[in-house]
Structure 1
Amino acid sequence: MKTPTATRIHASDASVTVLSNTPFITDWSRRYFGPWWNAFEVPAHSLCSGPLVIADVDELEYADLATRLAACSHEEVTYAKAKLLLTRDSTGTIISAVSPDEGLAYRSESLAERLTISGCAPEPVALAAARIAREMVRATLLWDGWTLLHASAVVRDGKALLTFGSKGSGKTTTALLLARNGFDLLANDRVFIKPVGDELRVLPWPSAAAIGLGLLDALGLYDVVRDRLQAGEQLHPTQHQDVTDALLAGRREPLWEPGGKKERKVQVFPDQFSTWFGMELATSGTAATLLFPRIDPAAAPALVDGDRTLAEDDFMTGSTEDRYPDHFHLARGINGGGNDLACASVAERLAALPHHQVVLGHDIQANADFLAKLAGVQ
């Protein structure tokens, strides 16, 4: 019998433990969450009460559950872009599910805050375990009064600059430019926030970051990524193979899905911001400034007039989590972005902070100089 290993993950007062018969899986969680949440190895025999993800490579257990589930009444849903066959017990508190395409089986015991994953191969199990662990931490934070914003964030001297906007507005560009000019990177796409005394505290939401090939090249990071790939290192496995092929072939222009509506991007592990790009990562901060950029290729970077402030779309909700709907009842009934009272309190506090609306062009160095000066780095 394999000796189990365990990784414990902490964010504020929330925690979850990932336990596995395969060290690759707990190592993956430690790597994925370690840069932003406090993830560390713990002795498997010392586990105490609290949310638990048991994630094992066990083909027999997977096959047994898949066979039993197929023989009973079940529904077909989608989770993480994969088909999921799902059934509930008579009380609705124990949920079993199988993802045939991924070779994964799940058993969720929501009252016990425990979810068990059995799979046929280490990498899919590791991806699923990290995803579930993050959802458990999210649920605890939201119940504790945190709210989830759709924003990028950087931190300097403990003060966080939050950048808002829809896809293509420049959130990622702004965050990465500032992270290369004196700021620490806190979040690429979303951030937890909570009033604590007179401050608005912010925490990161660990995730793989999507960076387009053109932006990667403009930031001067393209050759770093290509050299690492040629040396045998890997980016996040959610990256499309076409992107990997384009990098290895030296193609730098944006890569689009068929139909041209969505760009296929490089998927960067959280720890690769440090190990590949030399960026410092922040684990928390205090909200200080709000930035609302838009991209105009022909424009010089500048402050612009406007009345843009926080909108409903700047707050994450359960409906925005289309890739990971709460099929396993991990949220325990709370909205995926936080309760209405917490959101209203955050919105009121943020409205009192400085707001800057800016236009950014395609001159990356000019953008960097402008943002650094605006943020007080220069």
Structure 2
Amino acid sequence: MTTHAVRLESAGAAVTVASAEQAVTDWSARYFGPWWKAAEVPPQGVCAGPLVVAEVDPGRYADESLAVTQAPHRSVVYAKAQTLLSEDSAAGVIRAVSPDQALAYRSEPQAGSLMVFGCDTEPVATATARLAREVMRGALLRDGWAVLHASAVVSEGRTVLTLGGKGAGKTTTAFALAAKRGIGLLANDRVFVRPNDRGGVDVLPWPSAAALGLGLLDALGWFDICRERLEAGEALHPTQDGRVTEAILAGRREPLWNGSREMKTQVFPDQFPSWFGVPLATEGEAAVLVFPRIEAGAAPAEEDIVRGLKDADFMSGKTEDRYPDIFGLLGVDGGGTAEARHEVAHRLAELPHHSVVLGHDVAANADFLAKLTGCA
């Protein structure tokens, strides 16, 4: 059986994704792309280092599912899905099954091996990419990196970190600079950070699909591009609600809500350069921190408010509720060690901090932010 393989690398950490289904490895290559230097490797090299193997095989899924349910198991929520988990400590094997997603898993943490089984290619491909990212996260965290909730853009190695709670404007800030100034996009919501030997903080991307509200999509000048691409038969990320796709195709640009939750476009990482002409950055060094807030009708301006990093700006095992470490992939706290977070916070506190108010004029925001942060 032909095996296809893709190797992901970042800051000395690496993981290989292998599958008989090329669509599965193509998905990881597309998802991680230049952010994690995704590259095809020969099948004979797939045993070196941590390995995620994916099989699209209903029979194997059924066997693995049965193995979980016949053993002592408990119920957890993983990736928003009810998941049954069985742990065999003596054998060093963790098995799990998510019946609603028709996905089963077999993890051997000590051997650096993880297998994903399913009945359909797309769910297997998305789960495989998600778990490959978790394997990489574990390797980076064990090497002294921590995870910071921030958007980030990079200009000539200088990284602008944007922080704040949900809805503060992290995405608006990053995409204003990326879309209107051509500055490299490093991350939309999370970044890896680590103290370096120069007294600064290195920053790496956390690859993920980006969620953009329809209003922001329009303000960035990307709405019509999305509509044309969708009309041509291309697709956005499958986690996107079908009602968002329908709204774009119908030309409806106003925000779309499901109760109190705004439904957003979900953009693949590779669509930023290929659809919108936004380059992706692979690394940088923190240079300036921005704390935005959005106010309709406001002219962009700096505010006389002192703001700094908080504990909540860092991820920890307590706050990582979507992807808890049920497969034993991390080996440390989900956001990095307390020591790493403390040292990063100490060094970032010494950088310039800017509290700003931004309006809905993306071009004006971009011009203001570029000058303020030295990216002009």
What TM-score, normalized by structure 1, do the two folds share? 0.96
Partner of 1:244: 245
1:343 aligns with 2:341: yes
Partner of 1:371: 369
Q: How many residues were matched structurally?
A: 374
Distance 1:279 1:301 in 2: 23
Q: 1:262-320 CA distances to partner (integer Å, 9 max, x unpaired)?
A: 11110000000000000011000111000000111132110001110001111111122
3-state SS of 2:273 partner:
helix
Partner of 2:98: 99
Q: 1:107-159 CA distances to partner (integer Å, 9 max, x unpaired)?
A: 01111111111110111111111011100100110110011100000011111
Partner of 2:355: 357
C-alpha change, 1:339 and 1:90, in structure 2 (3 Å) is: closer
**Equivalent runs, 1:1-378 vs 2, <5 Å:** 2-91=1-90, 93-180=92-179, 181-198=181-198, 199-257=200-258, 259=259, 261-332=260-331, 334-378=332-376
Q: 1:63-88 CA distances to partner (integer Å, 9 max, x unpaired)?
A: 11222322332212111111111111
C-alpha change, 1:348 and 1:377, in structure 2 (3 Å) is: closer
C-alpha change, 1:92 and 1:346, in structure 2 (3 Å) is: farther
3-state SS of 1:193 partner:
strand
- Residues 18 and 46, structure 2, Cα contact 8 Å, conserved in 1: no
Distance 1:166 1:365 in 2: 23
AA of the residue aligned to 2:357: V
Bigger CA drift: 303-312 or 68-77? 68-77
Q: 1:45-64 CA distances to partner (integer Å, 9 max, x unpaired)?
A: 12343111011111110011
3-state SS of 2:230 partner:
helix
Q: Output the aligned Cα RMSD.
A: 1.2
3-state SS of 1:124 partner:
helix
Distance 2:236 2:360 in 1: 26
Q: 1:240-259 CA distances to partner (integer Å, 9 max, x unpaired)?
A: 111111111111111111x2
User: Identity of paired residues, percent?
Assistant: 59
- Residues 182 and 278, structure 2, Cα contact 8 Å, conserved in 1: no
Q: For residue 90 of structure 1, report the CA deviation from its aligned partner.
A: 4.1
Bigger CA drift: 359-368 or 101-110? 359-368
Q: Which runs of 5+ in 2 are unaligned?
A: none
Q: For residue 92 of structure 1, report the CA deviation from its aligned partner.
A: 7.5
3-state SS of 2:323 partner:
coil
3-state SS of 1:10 partner:
strand
Distance 1:124 1:89 in 2: 26
- Residues 182 and 279, structure 2, Cα contact 8 Å, conserved in 1: no
- Residues 15 and 132, structure 2, Cα contact 8 Å, conserved in 1: yes
Distance 1:11 1:151 in 2: 19
Q: For residue 23 of structure 1, report the CA deviation from its aligned partner.
A: 0.4
Distance 1:184 1:326 in 2: 31
- Residues 156 and 182, structure 1, Cα contact 8 Å, conserved in 2: no
- Residues 182 and 377, structure 1, Cα contact 8 Å, conserved in 2: no
Bigger CA drift: 323-332 or 359-368? 359-368
Distance 1:244 1:222 in 2: 11
What TM-score, normalized by structure 2, do the two folds share? 0.97
Distance 2:45 2:70 in 1: 38
AA of the residue aligned to 1:67: L
Distance 2:71 2:314 in 1: 39
AA of the residue aligned to 1:357: S
Distance 2:5 2:34 in 1: 17
Q: Which runs of 5+ in 1 are unaligned?
A: none
Q: For residue 359 of structure 1, report the CA deviation from its aligned partner.
A: 0.4
